[in-house]
Amino acid sequence: MPPRAPPRRRPAPAAGGPGFGDSARVLLALAALYAAMSLLAYRVIHMRHVAPLGADAPRGNFSEGRVLQHLRRLAVDIPGRQEGSPGLEAAAQYIKGELQGLAARAGPEYRIEVEETLVSGSFSMMFLRHRVTLGYRNHKNIVMRVSSNVSEDDDPSLLVNGHFDSPLGSPGAADCGSCVASMLELSRLLIDSGWVPPRPVIFLFNGAEELFLLGSHGFIKTHRWNRTIRAFINIEASGSGGTDLVCQSGPGSWPSRVYAQTAKYPMANSVAQDMFGIIPGDTDYRIFAEDITNIPGLDIIFVLGGYFYHTSYDTLENLLPGSIQARGENLFNLVKAFTNPMLLKENEISNKAAKDGIEDVGAVFFDYLTWFMVFYSRDISLILHSLPIAIFLLVPLFLKFPNITLMSWFVTLLGFMRGMVLHTFGVILAIFIPALAAALRLLFTKNAMNWFAHPYLAFLMFVPTSLIGLLLPRLTWGLSEQAHFWGAFGLYSLITMVYTLAGLSGGFLTFFISMSMLLGRFVSRIIRKQWSQQSPRWSLVAYVLPMTPCLLYGLYYGGFLIQFLIEKMGMMGSLPKPYGYFVPDVIVGAVVGLVVGWCFGPLSPVASRWLSKTSIIHGFLQITVVALAISSQLFPYSTGAPKRVVLQHTFVTGLLLVGSFNCSKSKNNVSQIVLCNQINIKN
């Protein structure tokens, strides 16, 4: 009998890389990792990690429950707080009564002064690139000054500002009843905690913000305490809760530095200040820090829950639990810091330096999931943000050591540049393909903005198409893994440098990405020397794990950006046909692609070995088709995400100007704000 032939071995995968089984396992592992990180980011963005205290909480703590009691009186019991309405006067008297009650029971160590003032004046301002000139008379503010019993009238003070008037047709629970109720609880806490502020704290409850910031202007121009203010905190709401974001700070870096050092739940991002100018809206911050005076301060705003902003749905029930609690605890710490004599002295020194021509430009700062803040000056950013591009240019020398020549450096750098072009093309496709898919969908369906009431649809429709765009160049263009990595690193390094030279703050994100990539590369190279012969997946694990903090931050920042954008799309109004119909979907698709570019782009140079497969691309396409089919069956609006309809009725009579009136309706998931302007012209 002839000898039995030895058993055949399963053929190894083709030279193109791992087989489908390995690719599927890597894809599922990455999907599980991103799902876990996304869940954590979602909880943080919606303040699920903050436990609100009830109305029976100890008197020495800030309590969201007690804030809601005030808010119920302001937004439920009082019907409407529009300028000129009985509700506004009722709110003013309620606030004044609460403050007088606090003054009556304050200990002898406190000096409490409560005033009701009427302000009049005029000023001119730029709004939406148009000059607006305003004259006003007899607008009511309620002011309280809390200080020690040995304080002087001219002592440097801190201003805390919020407005108690509400928009037309809205109960104004969030905007800005939540601000006023938080200030009432904060003023109570100052007295009940036993802490006596070393410098006076002025609480301004201003009654005319919605009408072009009249209340704050009247206070800062006419009140007897206006010249004592050395810092301010303005609290606002453009949504029903979520992250209480520092959208503006300055002049200079002192206010943001104090915030970074003291906030319990820091929620700040210097990019927000770069972008705030393009948002069609304003707050009292510009009166205090820009237009009228140059006082350093913070503009802290509820930015999520924008579905209900300036509508009849801005009610107590739609506030996000935990948001007010986080705001209050932050505010108490900030009040303690801003009234610290040493910190106020620092502010005076920086102001004097600015007058002498030494400019203190804003710093670079960002919070990491509200756990802590990273803060550094612009001078430091010039050094830090230059490191990645310097490393990119020097790496070819180290790779060719000791045989270093100008030609070898140039050839290696040229290979990296090809990798940079490849990664750039992938990021562009990651943005372009979702935008194109959004436009094509609207050619076959009638409902635009299906994701408005169903944000998960935006992720189902656009994330797979973004991944296709990111991986497609690597499927068709063969380069070494080294060229892929250093090309991607070079792109993020270049973006970091461009942002920095342009004087913008956004470079911190790509700096974080590029340095995390470098750390992952270093760890994976060490692991590869030990275990790569057994399983190349170990090098991928070693690359991903050091990058997890960066990826988590990218999901937190990107998820917040997408949620904010989706909610604000309901305020765009009707755009001109035929192309205006496509604009919201195209914008959301492109922004989702951009977020995918910084959340998954840093992994693609290494993970593409497993994921750049036609079978994976086909799978992403199938998910996209299913998501598009589902979205075409869903209505864009719901009770929780109403459509806005703004109607304006103008009529002319032959008499003198006598007045105006408004009404608000809510029906069939549509919040209607009907503005009826009466224009009376004398013949």
pLDDT at 597: 93
84 pLDDT band, cuts 50/70/90, is confident
pLDDT, residue 150, reads 93
Tell me the C-alpha distance between 41 and 557, whole Å: 8
Q: Which residue has the higher pLDDT, 7 or 59?
A: 59
Q: What is the mean pLDDT of residues 121-142?
A: 88
Q: Which alpha helices (DSSP H) does 445-506 contain, by range?
A: 455-476, 481-501
Band (662; pLDDT cuts 50, 70, 90): very low
The C-alpha atoms of residue 630 and residue 626 are separated, in whole angstroms, by 6
Max mean pLDDT among 71-75, 578-582, 608-612 falls in 71-75
Residue 12: which pLDDT band, with cuts at 50, 70 and 90?
very low
Topology of the domain covering 66-376: Aminopeptidase (3.40.630)
pLDDT at residue 444, as a whole number: 85
- 114 versus 350: which is more confidently predicted? 114
Q: Is the pLDDT of residue 672 over 50?
A: no
Lowest mean pLDDT of 52-66, 239-253, 530-544, 605-619, name the range: 530-544
Residue 379 has pLDDT above 50, yes or no: yes
How far, in Å, CA of 125 to CA of 104, rounded? 40
pLDDT at 278: 75
| pLDDT given for residue 354 in this prediction | 60
**Residues 287, 178: Cα–Cα separation, whole Å:** 21
CA distance 469 to 611: 12
The strand pairing partners of 674, in sequence order, are 647, 663
Lowest mean pLDDT among 112-116, 388-392, 470-474: 470-474
Q: What is the mean pLDDT of residues 74-96?
A: 94
pLDDT in tens, 428-465: 999 999 999 999 999 888 788 999 999 999 999 999 99
Whether the pLDDT of residue 5 is over 80: the answer is no
The CA–CA distances, whole Å, from 412 to 392, 399, 485, 651 equal: 11, 9, 13, 73
Q: What is the mean pLDDT of residues 190-210?
A: 95
Q: Provide the terminal-to-terminal Cα distance of the chain, rounded to the nearest Å.
A: 122
**How many Å separate Cα 584 from the centre of its chain?**
19
349 confidence band (pLDDT: 50, 70, 90): confident
Mean pLDDT of 266-271: 93
What average pLDDT does range 321-341 have in this prediction?
96
**What confidence score (pLDDT) does residue 7 get?**
44
Domain boundaries, the chain: 66-376, 384-631, 643-680
Can you tell me the distance from the alpha carbon of 368 to that of 557, in angstroms, rounded to the nearest whole number? 9
- Please report the pLDDT score of residue 660 as a whole number: 43
- For 301-311, the pLDDT digits (tens) are 999 999 999 99
Lowest mean pLDDT among 5-14, 539-548, 559-568: 5-14
d(CA 31, CA 517): 19
The mean pLDDT value for 150-167 works out to 95
For 671, which DSSP code?
A: E
Dump pLDDT digits (tens) for 482-518. 999 999 999 999 999 999 998 888 899 999 999 999 9
- As given in the structure block, the two tokens for residue 395 are 């790496």
| Average pLDDT, integer, range 581-588 | 92
Does residue 657 have a pLDDT over 60?
Answer: no
pLDDT band at 629 (very low <50, low <70, confident <90, very high): confident
Which pLDDT belongs to residue 504? 86
Structure tokens given for 204? 């301004």
Confidence of residue 425 (pLDDT cuts 50, 70, 90): very high
% of residues, the chain, pLDDT over 70: 89
Residues whose CB falls within 8 Å of the CB of residue 3, separated by 6 or more in sequence, listed in order? none
Euclidean distance between CA atoms 553 and 366, whole angstroms: 10
Kindly report the length of the chain.
683
Cross-strand bridge partners of residue 234: 161, 299
Mean pLDDT of 463-469: 96
What integer pLDDT is reported at residue 355 of this predicted model?
62
Q: Are the C-beta atoms of 606 and 543 separated by less than 8 Å? A: yes
Beta strands in 498-622 (DSSP E): none
Burial 345-378 (b: 16+ CB within 10 A, else e): eebeebbeeeeeeeebebbbbbbbbbeebebbbb
